[in-house]
Structure 1
Amino acid sequence: MEPRFSSVPRAEGRQNLKVLVRLGLIVLLGIVTLGSLIRAGTAWQSGDNTMSAVDVEKALPSFLRSGSSWAFQDTSEVGVDDVNTENGASVQIEVHEASLDRAQEEEEEDEREMRELELAKRHDLWVEPKRLNVDEVCKRMFGNGYTNIVQICNGEKASMDCWYSPTSRGAVCEGSNLVVDPSLIAVAPGGEPASSVSGRDEAAEIPVYKKGALKMDCDLPKEAWDPEMLAPHLKLVMSSVASDIKGAVTAQCTSWEEKPTLFVTRYEHADVYSAVADWYNTYQAQQQLADGEDVNLVFLDGHPQGPLDEAWSSLVGKRVRHVKSFSSPTCFRKAIFVPVGARGALSVTNFHDVASCKRVPQVRNFANAFVDRIIADDKALTQLADASKRTKPLVLVFLRNPFRPAQVLKNEKEVIASLRGLNFADVRLEPFDGLSFRECVALVRGAQVIVGIHDAALSFILFGLPGTTLVELQMPEYKGLSYYDRLSQFVGAAHRVVSLPPPEEDSLHQLPPAKLTTAISDAVQVEVAI
C-alpha cells in the first residue's frame, strides 16, 4: 500500500539527522568548555590566587557567558567547580533552568514528531489503482488527501486522532477503545416510519452533544486543536470527549463491539445528491481506516425511515443502527467518524477545483463496489444491469419529478409519443418515484442513454458505465451549473444539455419533441472518447 503521507521517509531522515547534529554539538561544546576552564585554572594558579567572576566569564567562550544558557551566582555551598573571587565568595558554573526547559521542550517535540510518523505509517489510505493518470489535486480530492493530523486524545489504553484534508476541507477521525453514552446525545430516536413523525421539527433529528457523550481513557492535549479543521459537525462530536487517564472508563465495559464501526451524520437522508456524497465519504473511510473489511454503521442523526435506507445496508452490510437504539453506554474497539457529504470529494462546493478530473479511478472503484453490492444475488437486477445482452441500446427516461409540479413537461404526452417512435432504441419511460432504489441503480447501469429533467435523481449517473450519455433537460434558472456535468466526467460518461424554454403562464415548460429525439439519436451514434 502507498504510505499515508509521502513525506514519511524524508521526515525520518530529518529526525535522524537532527539527532546526529545535536550529538555533535554536545561533543564540541564539551571540548571547548573544558579547554577554556583549563586556561582559566592555569591563569589562577600562576597569579595571586584571585580571579574575579568577570575574569572567569571572559575565559569562557562567548556562547557560555552571561545571558546565555549558563550563569554565575554567589553560593556558600561547595559546587562541582568552585572559583574564589576577590571578596572570598564562591562562583559556581551551573545550568540555567531555561536551558533545561528548552531541552525538555525539544524532547517533547521529538516525541510528538515520532508519534506522528508512527501514525502516518499505521494509517494507509485505500489502495490507489496502479494506473492513476490524473493530476495531483484529483488524487488528493478523491484519495490520499488527508495530511494534517489533529490529536484529540492520546493514551496507552485509548486514543482519538483526526486527519484533515486541505483539498476537500473535510476530516475523518479514528478512535480506539471508545465508550459512547447515548444519554448525553440529544436527538430523536430515528428509524421510525415517516408517517409516524409527520410534523416533527427537523432540528430534533440533528444531534446535540453534551460533555462525556464520548468517553476515553487517555490524555486530552494541552494545546487546543483547531476547530475549523473539524468543521462543521466533527468539531461538535470531538468537543464532547471526556477523558480519564486512570482507566476508569473502559473498566466498566463488560462487552465490546469488536468490528470497526462507522459513525455517520446525515443532514439530508432522502435527497439523492446528498446521499451520494455521504456514500462516497463512507466508502472512502471504510477503505482507508477499516481496510475494506466488514463494518458496522451507527447513524448519529435521528432521521426517520426513508427510500434510500436499503442503500446504506447494501453499502456496509446489514448492521445499521441509530445511536439512540443503544439503551446504555456502549464500548467500541474501533470507531471511525465519517465526514459529512458537504465536506467531501463529491461536494458541489469542491467541483471548481476538480474540473480537470476525468474518469477518476477511485470514483470508478466506489461505483463498481456499490453496484455489485446492490444487485448481488438478484438475477433479475443483474439482467437489467447487463448492457451486453441487449439487442438495442437502452434509453432510460425520467420525465417528471412528482414533488415539483413545475418540473413536469406541459406537452409530456406529445414527447412520450415521439420517444416511443424511436425504433433504434429500447426506450423505457420510468417515473422515478415508481422504482425501488435497487431497480433504479440496475437500470442506470444497463442504460446507454439517460434522460431527465434537472433533478437530484440525475446523480445516479455516478453508477453508469463509461460511455453512457446523460441528457439533461435544463431549465433556464439552472443554466451554467456543472454538477451533473462533473459527475458524468468522473465516471467517463458524456453530458449533453437540452435547454428548456422559459415557463409559460402556468409555470410549466414545453419541450419541442424533435429537440430531444435528435439529442438521443446523436448520443446513441456517437461513442464517448475514453
Structure 2
Amino acid sequence: MNSKKLKILLSLFTLNSLSLYLYFSSHPDHRRLPSRSYSVSEYSPPHHPLSVKPWPILPSYLPWSQNSEPPFRSCEAYFGNGFTRRVDPLKPNAESHRKISPSAGGGGWFRCFYSETLRSSICEGGRIRMVPERIEMSRGGEKLESVIGREEDDELPNFRDGAFEIEVGDRSRVGKKLVDEEFLDKYLEEGTIDRHTMRGLIGSIRSVDATEFVCSEWIEEPTLLVTRFEYANLFHTVTDWYSTYVASRVTGLPIRPHVVFVDGHCQTPLEETWTALFSSLTYAKNFSSPVCFRHAILVPLGYETPLFKGLSETIDCYGASAQELWQKPDNKKTARLSEFGEMIRAAFGFPVDRHHIPKPASGHNILFVRREDYLAHPRHGGKVQTRLSNEPEVFDSIKSWASNHPNCKLNVVNGLFAHMPMKEQIRAIQDAAVIVGAHGAGLTHIVSATPKTVILEIISIEYRRPHFELIARWKGLEYHAIHLRGSYADPPVVIDKLSAILRNLGC
C-alpha cells in the first residue's frame, strides 16, 4: 500500500473514532444501558441487539461536524450540515445518568437541529415509545397485487394523541404534549406541504412518567423514523434516501441505523436499496404492541431536501471533489452528492474508488435508460406517460451506429430499469461512460454515476424540467440536452450529439 492511500485510511479511521467518541458523549441515554435483567414488573424484556452495518469508507466523505455555522444558502447549508440551530424541548436529567434501572425514572431527552436554509429540522430523542394502535393507517409492507385500488389517504399516517410518548422525570410535564403549536410553526413549518406527516408525528408526542412507560420491546440501536409520500417514484425516493442519509450523518450515528417506515405504503422494488443502505427495515404497523427506542431520529420529508427545493428556488452550487474542497473550501461547491452516490454504490458492494480508472478494454458503455409500462402503486394503471414517442427507433439507431463505430468499441446497454433488480440498475449506472434517456425518474440514478460519466437527456416540449441538469451540475458531471419541438427525436440528431461526446472521450 503506498503512503498516500495509507494516509487516507488513517485519516478515515481517525474521523470514525472521533465520531464514535462524539456520539456516545453527546447522546445521554447511551451512557446508561441496564447492567442486569429486570422482571416484567420492573422492566420490559431485555432486547436482543439487531445486527448492524458499519459505514463504508467513501472517497468523497468530508466531516459532517461543524465548528461554525455555514453561511446561509451556501452549498454546505443546502447539501450538508446546515442544521446548526439546536433547540432542546426536553433536556436530559443529569441525575438520571447515575441510576441503573430504567424503571427508576429520570426520563428521556429530545432535541431538534434546525436549518435556516432548508427551513427544516432533524430531530432526535431518547426513551421514546411508539404505540402502533394510535396510528391510523393501513398496515404497510403488503405485496402490491394484494392492495390494488387502495386510496392514498389510507396509506398516510394520522397520529392520534399519544401515538408517540416520551418518558419524563418532571411530574409537572406528565400528560402534556412535548411541544406546542408555536414550536411546530417555528421549527417544522408546513410550507406548501398539505399534510406534513413528520410534523404530525412530533405533534403527537405525549409526556408520560415511568409507570406508564411500559414496552413490549426495546430497540437499543439508533433507529430512523421515516414518513414517505411518493414512495414508488425513483426521484422522490432518492430525496427520501438523501434525507435519511443526511439525518444519520448530522446526528453523528456511529453505525448505519435501522429504519422504521411510519406509513402504510405497500412494498416496491425500491425497498432493495433501503435495505442495502441501512441496517434493517420494517413498518410501524408490523409491531403488534408498543415498542420503545433508546435513540430515535426523526427524518425530514424528502420535499425538504435540496434535490426537491432546487426545482423551485435557485441553488447556485457546483460539484467538486472532496480533495479539492478539503484543500480549498468553497461555498459555491459541494461534494455531498458524490459522497451520497458512493454510499449507494458501496451499499451494494460495488467499488467506489473509481476516480482514476483507465479506459476499459471492453470499450465504452452507452446506457440508454428506457421508459416501460409497469404497475407502480395501487392507484396506477400500469401505463407510463410517453416522453419520447419514437424511443424504440432511437434506441435501435444508436445500437446500429455503435456496432459500426470505426474508432472505439461501444456497448449499448438496454436500460430496462422497470424490470431490473436495483443492484443491476446501479451496476449499469456505474459502468456507463455515457447515460442517455428521455426525461423521467429513471435518470435520477445519475446520483450514483462515477465522476467522468457524461449525461445526455432528451427533453420533450411538455417536460422541460431541470431535475437532472441540476443533479448533474451538483455532482460536477458533464451534461448535454436535446430539446424537442414535440416528443419525436430525429435519430441522426441524437447520433450527432453522441458522436461529439464520444470524440471528447477519445473516440
Number of residue pairs aligned between Structure 1 and Structure 2: 390
Match of 2:387 in 1: 407
- More displaced, 191-200 or 348-357? 348-357
Query: Is 1:141 equivalent to 2:141 in the alignment?
Result: no
- Residues 297/358 of structure 1: CA separation in 2 closer, same or farther (3 Å cut): same
After superposition, what is the alpha-carbon deviation per residue over 1:41-97, rounded to whole angstroms, capped at 9, x for unaligned?
xxxxxxxxxxxxxxxxxxxxxxxxxxxxxxxxxxxxxxxxxxxxxxxxxxxxxxxxx
Q: Could you tell me how far 1:418 is from its partner in structure 2?
A: 4.2
Query: Unpaired segments of 5 or more residues in structure 2?
Result: 1-14, 20-60, 94-106, 191-195, 321-333, 374-382
Query: Is 1:322 equivalent to 2:283 in the alignment?
Result: yes
SS in 2 for 1:352: coil
Report the Cα distance in structure 2 between the residues aligned to 1:325 and 1:234, rounded to whole angstroms.
19
SS in 1 for 2:399: helix
Query: Is 1:256 equivalent to 2:218 in the alignment?
Result: yes
Match of 1:371 in 2: 345
SS in 2 for 1:263: strand
1:482 corresponds to which of 461, 466, 471: 466
Query: Is 1:341 equivalent to 2:312 in the alignment?
Result: no
Q: Could you tell me how far 1:408 is from its partner in structure 2?
A: 4.3
Q: Could you tell me how far 1:455 is from its partner in structure 2?
A: 0.4
Match of 1:433 in 2: 418
Query: Is 1:296 equivalent to 2:254 in the alignment?
Result: no
- Residues 297/233 of structure 1: CA separation in 2 closer, same or farther (3 Å cut): same
Report the Cα distance in structure 1 between the residues aligned to 2:437 and 2:294, rounded to whole angstroms.
45
State the one-letter code of the partner of 1:428: V
Match of 1:229 in 2: 187
On the 8 A contact 1:262/1:338 being kept in 2, the answer is yes
Question: How well do the aligned residues superpose, as a CA RMSD in angstroms?
Answer: 3.1
- Residues 433/187 of structure 1: CA separation in 2 closer, same or farther (3 Å cut): same
- Residues 397/214 of structure 1: CA separation in 2 closer, same or farther (3 Å cut): same
Report the Cα distance in structure 2 between the residues aligned to 1:368 and 1:292, rounded to whole angstroms.
18
On the 8 A contact 1:448/1:467 being kept in 2, the answer is yes
On the 8 A contact 2:366/2:433 being kept in 1, the answer is yes
Query: Is 1:239 equivalent to 2:219 in the alignment?
Result: no
Match of 2:63 in 1: 127
On the 8 A contact 1:297/1:316 being kept in 2, the answer is yes
Match of 2:161 in 1: 211
SS in 2 for 1:478: coil
SS in 2 for 1:163: strand
SS in 2 for 1:259: coil
State the one-letter code of the partner of 1:261: T
After superposition, what is the alpha-carbon deviation per residue over 1:6-57, rounded to whole angstroms, capped at 9, x for unaligned?
xxxxxxxxxxxxxxxxxxxxxxxxxxxxxxxxxxxxxxxxxxxxxxxxxxxx
Query: Comparing both structures, which one devotes a greater share of its residues to helix?
Result: 1
Match of 1:59 in 2: none
Match of 2:328 in 1: none
Report the Cα distance in structure 2 between the residues aligned to 1:324 and 1:435, rounded to whole angstroms.
29
Report the Cα distance in structure 1 between the residues aligned to 2:473 and 2:310, rounded to whole angstroms.
17
Query: Is 1:448 equivalent to 2:433 in the alignment?
Result: yes
1:267 corresponds to which of 217, 226, 229: 229
Report the Cα distance in structure 1 between the residues aligned to 2:244 and 2:143, rounded to whole angstroms.
24
- Residues 249/394 of structure 1: CA separation in 2 closer, same or farther (3 Å cut): same
Q: Could you tell me how far 1:392 is from its partner in structure 2?
A: 1.4
1:522 corresponds to which of 494, 500, 503: 500
Report the Cα distance in structure 1 between the residues aligned to 2:417 and 2:180, rounded to whole angstroms.
53
- More displaced, 182-191 or 486-495? 486-495
Report the Cα distance in structure 2 between the residues aligned to 1:414 and 1:451, rounded to whole angstroms.
11
Compare relative contact order (CA 8 Å, sep 6+) and give the higher one, 1 or 2: 2
State the one-letter code of the partner of 1:435: M
Q: Could you tell me how far 1:390 is from its partner in structure 2?
A: 4.1
Query: Is 1:419 equivalent to 2:393 in the alignment?
Result: no
Report the Cα distance in structure 2 between the residues aligned to 1:514 and 1:465, rounded to whole angstroms.
28
Matches within 5 A, 1:85-234: 127-128=63-64, 137-156=74-93, 157-218=107-168, 219=173, 220=178, 224-230=182-188, 231=190, 232-234=196-198
Match of 2:448 in 1: 463
Report the Cα distance in structure 1 between the residues aligned to 2:415 and 2:505, rounded to whole angstroms.
25
Q: Could you tell me how far 1:225 is from its partner in structure 2?
A: 1.2
- Residues 401/474 of structure 1: CA separation in 2 closer, same or farther (3 Å cut): farther
After superposition, what is the alpha-carbon deviation per residue over 1:378-406, rounded to whole angstroms, capped at 9, x for unaligned?
xxx999xx885443111001243433352
Query: Is 1:354 equivalent to 2:338 in the alignment?
Result: no
| Bigger radius of gyration | 1
Q: Could you tell me how far 1:411 is from its partner in structure 2?
A: 6.7
Query: Unpaired segments of 5 or more residues in structure 1?
Result: 5-124, 503-508
Match of 2:29 in 1: none
Q: Could you tell me how far 1:196 is from its partner in structure 2?
A: 0.2
State the one-letter code of the partner of 1:364: S
Report the Cα distance in structure 1 between the residues aligned to 2:353 and 2:264, rounded to whole angstroms.
34
Match of 1:392 in 2: 363
Q: Could you tell me how far 1:436 is from its partner in structure 2?
A: 1.6
Report the Cα distance in structure 1 between the residues aligned to 2:394 and 2:287, rounded to whole angstroms.
54
State the one-letter code of the partner of 2:261: F
Report the Cα distance in structure 1 between the residues aligned to 2:480 and 2:180, rounded to whole angstroms.
55
Report the Cα distance in structure 2 between the residues aligned to 1:150 and 1:368, rounded to whole angstroms.
32
SS in 1 for 2:314: helix
On the 8 A contact 1:396/1:428 being kept in 2, the answer is yes
State the one-letter code of the partner of 2:203: S
Report the Cα distance in structure 2 between the residues aligned to 1:331 and 1:497, rounded to whole angstroms.
50
Report the Cα distance in structure 2 between the residues aligned to 1:209 and 1:268, rounded to whole angstroms.
19
TM-score (norm: length of structure 2)? 0.71
Report the Cα distance in structure 2 between the residues aligned to 1:346 and 1:268, rounded to whole angstroms.
14
State the one-letter code of the partner of 1:458: L
Q: Could you tell me how far 1:240 is from its partner in structure 2?
A: 0.6
SS in 2 for 1:162: strand
On the 8 A contact 2:198/2:227 being kept in 1, the answer is no
On the 8 A contact 1:161/1:175 being kept in 2, the answer is yes
- Residues 387/311 of structure 1: CA separation in 2 closer, same or farther (3 Å cut): farther
Q: Could you tell me how far 1:348 is from its partner in structure 2?
A: 3.9
Match of 1:115 in 2: none
On the 8 A contact 2:456/2:481 being kept in 1, the answer is yes
State the one-letter code of the partner of 1:495: Y
On the 8 A contact 2:128/2:166 being kept in 1, the answer is yes
Task: Calculate percent identity across the aligned residue pairs.
Answer: 26
- Residues 391/141 of structure 1: CA separation in 2 closer, same or farther (3 Å cut): same
TM-score (norm: length of structure 1)? 0.68
Report the Cα distance in structure 2 between the residues aligned to 1:191 and 1:426, rounded to whole angstroms.
38
State the one-letter code of the partner of 1:444: I
- Residues 372/223 of structure 1: CA separation in 2 closer, same or farther (3 Å cut): closer
- Residues 173/411 of structure 1: CA separation in 2 closer, same or farther (3 Å cut): closer
State the one-letter code of the partner of 1:248: T
Q: Could you tell me how far 1:321 is from its partner in structure 2?
A: 0.5
- Residues 214/414 of structure 1: CA separation in 2 closer, same or farther (3 Å cut): closer
TM superposition outliers: structure 1 runs of 4+ over 6 Å? 1-4
State the one-letter code of the partner of 1:396: L
After superposition, what is the alpha-carbon deviation per residue over 1:266-301, rounded to whole angstroms, capped at 9, x for unaligned?
101110000111101111111221424132110001
After superposition, what is the alpha-carbon deviation per residue over 1:106-126, rounded to whole angstroms, capped at 9, x for unaligned?
xxxxxxxxxxxxxxxxxxx98
- Residues 159/307 of structure 1: CA separation in 2 closer, same or farther (3 Å cut): same
